[in-house]
């Protein structure tokens, strides 16, 4: 965490960026982030195909659903960027709006908390009943505000994500929404976004299993810290090419 704090100071010295520089950073990140976040949830588009879809190209023999997921994730990411730029509040409505963009292929379920009980495949953990969701999200948002005064950014992000995914508030799109929320929290406090890669999905899943067994977020804190450290170092290196 000391390394994260030192890297943050170095990044702050390089700011502010021009609009063009900022857009370049965001566009380059968007393609990989969209590909990996969707792939974790079963999307079959390759990285190259994802880039083409985001440019408006239709990929033959790939499901329409995969195309819509890429476009929806892109729109949700740009919405997150807009919130950060305008310094808008992070509220429950923000969560629902992000989800409504992510789940563009399922209009009836967009931005609406689930009304049925669910099970998470491959996990012994059972998310709470539907009637509990509203209060649990309200409590999570309150706690997140308090954490800004008491916890390091990596702890804030990891703990929020673990609790959000454990609540599993929506019938679908919880993972993609949750990873967008992680990056919203990071960018609102001046950090670059992170990308949990498809190749790291098992390590990522294991963090949830560990949390559900121990109620300790340390596994995901460690993963977030490492990802953020790498992203910040890469971020600083890229200033040399601007």
Does residue 124 have a pLDDT over 60?
yes
Between CA 27 and CA 169, with CA 158 as vertex, the angle to 5 degrees is 85
The reported pLDDT for the residue numbered 204 is 97
Residues 77 and 180 sit within 8 Å (Cβ to Cβ): yes
Predicted TM-score (pTM) above 0.85: yes
* pLDDT tens figures, 54-103: 999 999 999 999 999 999 999 999 999 999 999 999 999 999 999 999 99
Range of the domain at 94: 2-241
- Domain count across the chain: 1
129, two tokens = 């009943």
Active site residue 35: no
Share in percent of the chain as helix, strand, coil (round to 5): 70, 0, 30
- The 10s digit of each residue's pLDDT in 218-240 is 999 999 999 999 999 998 987 76
CA distance 66 to 23: 25
Residue 140 is predicted with a pLDDT of: 98
CB 36 within 8 A of CB 196: yes
CATH number of 231's domain? 1.10.3290.10
Catalytic-role residue among 35, 152, 168, 212: 168
């Amino acid at each position: 965490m000391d390394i994260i704090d030192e890297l943050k100071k170095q990044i702050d010295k390089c700011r502010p960026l021009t609009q063009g520089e900022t857009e370049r950073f965001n566009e380059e990140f968007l393609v990989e982030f969209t590909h990996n976040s969707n792939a974790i949830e079963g999307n079959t588009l390759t990285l190259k195909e994802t880039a083409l879809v985001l440019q408006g190209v239709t990929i033959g023999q790939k499901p329409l659903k995969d195309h819509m997921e890429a476009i929806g994730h892109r729109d949700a990411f740009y919405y997150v960027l807009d919130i950060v730029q305008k310094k808008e509040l992070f509220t429950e409505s923000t969560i629902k709006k992000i989800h409504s963009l992510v789940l563009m292929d399922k209009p009836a379920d967009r931005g609406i908390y689930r009304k049925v009980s669910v099970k998470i495949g491959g996990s012994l953990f059972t998310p709470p009943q539907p009637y509990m969701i509203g209060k649990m999200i309200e409590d999570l948002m309150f706690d997140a505000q308090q954490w800004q005064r008491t916890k390091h950014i990596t702890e804030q992000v990891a703990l929020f994500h673990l609790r959000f995914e454990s609540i599993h508030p929506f019938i679908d799109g919880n993972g993609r929404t949750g990873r967008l929320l992680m990056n919203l929290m990071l960018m609102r406090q001046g950090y670059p976004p992170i990308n949990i890669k498809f190749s790291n999905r098992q390590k990522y899943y294991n963090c949830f299993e560990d949390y559900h067994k121990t109620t300790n977020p340390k596994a995901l804190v460690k993963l977030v810290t490492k990802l953020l450290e790498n992203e910040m170092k890469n971020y600083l290196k890229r200033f040399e090419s601007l």
